[in-house]
Amino acid sequence: MRRSIRLSLGTLIVAEALAAAAHSTEVRTGTIPAGQAGAPTACSIIDAEQLKRLTGRTDVLKRGPMKGDPASPAEGRTGCSYLGFIFELNTPAKREWFDETRSFLVNSRAKIQPVSGVGDGAFYWWDPKPGYTRPVGIVLRAGTSGLMIMDMTSSDSIDVVKPELLTVAKAVVPKLR
């Protein structure tokens, strides 16, 4: 019970921080043009069976991807959770969104590590403080979309979770192009 409370609180704190970062870029990301009304959502880019196979995780509640709105929704931003991952998709998202998100995380004392081989640009980020539930994520750009995928883990498992995040990111990126 205590773990789930801490996990929920940690998720809320990180979601609010990322919402604040996204809020600063709302003007630049704009709204979804009428011609893109069918733009992807965070849940629509998830292939549930593929992610279960790739991660070895189980959909314990058997609910599939669950829509979750970001803490401060803006036009073009959608959220989804599945298998313990939190996905936040920004469409359209310009390079400025990517750069400002990275700057915000650095200013929030998160550690950043560049990632290659996924999207048009990507980086890992994580909370370096020791502890039981710490956020770790990957932020990437692909075409006109920006995606953040986050998980919560103990500080000593961050290096184990990063490759898993990369696997998930590589699985969903093709749906962003």
In which residue are the tokens 């790739």 written?
54
Q: Tokens representing 73?
A: 């929704």
Interval 40-80: pLDDT, tens: 899 999 999 999 999 999 999 899 999 986 555 577 889 99
Q: Tokens representing 95?
A: 């390079």
Interval 56-67: pLDDT, tens: 999 998 999 999
* Model pLDDT, residue 7: 38
Interval 115-155: pLDDT, tens: 999 999 999 999 999 988 999 999 999 999 999 999 999 99
In which residue are the tokens 């009428």 written?
34
Segment 76-98 mean pLDDT: 91
Cα–Cα distance for residue pair 119/11, rounded to 1 Å: 25
* Model pLDDT, residue 127: 94
